[in-house]
């Protein structure tokens, strides 16, 4: 499970970081190279996520979605300096509960 968490975190950083670089390039006038590195980071995200050991693509990506939401809130707080409010934290907590249900529910 530690390996899965590490892969989720690395994939999240690659996806959010890549999207952020493209955002900065297109919306805030940063150089084209920022957009190119953003695109490469987004491609890297797809590769990292494929290393998950879970047998179901849909379940992995759905669970990752919850992790992505929490990482996005943290990214906005730490990098973009936008303090999350009470509802951001409640929403993120609900997502983590959903991830736990998806990954740890007893299945036959």
pLDDT digits (tens, 9 = 90+) for 35-82: 999 999 999 999 998 898 877 888 888 888 999 999 999 999 999 999
Residues near 92 by Cβ (< 8 Å), separated by ≥ 6? 69, 70, 73, 84
Distance CA 38, CA 28 (A): 14
Q: Domain residues of the chain, as ranges?
A: 2-104
Alpha helices, DSSP H, located in 29-56: 32-50
Q: How does pLDDT run across 80-105, given as a tens digit for each residue?
A: 999 999 999 999 999 999 989 988 88
φ/ψ (deg, to 5) at 88? -60, -45
């Amino acid at each position: 499970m530690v390996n899965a968490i590490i892969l989720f975190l690395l994939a999240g950083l690659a996806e959010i970081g890549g999207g952020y670089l493209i955002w900065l390039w297109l919306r805030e006038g940063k150089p084209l190279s920022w957009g190119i590195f953003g695109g490469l980071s987004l491609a890297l995200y797809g590769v990292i996520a494929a290393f998950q050991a879970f047998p179901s693509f849909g379940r992995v990506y759905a669970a990752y979605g919850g992790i992505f939401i929490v990482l996005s809130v943290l990214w906005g707080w730490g990098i973009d300096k936008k303090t999350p409010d009470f509802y951001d934290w409640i929403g993120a907590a609900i997502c983590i509960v959903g991830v736990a249900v998806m990954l740890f529910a007893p299945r036959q």
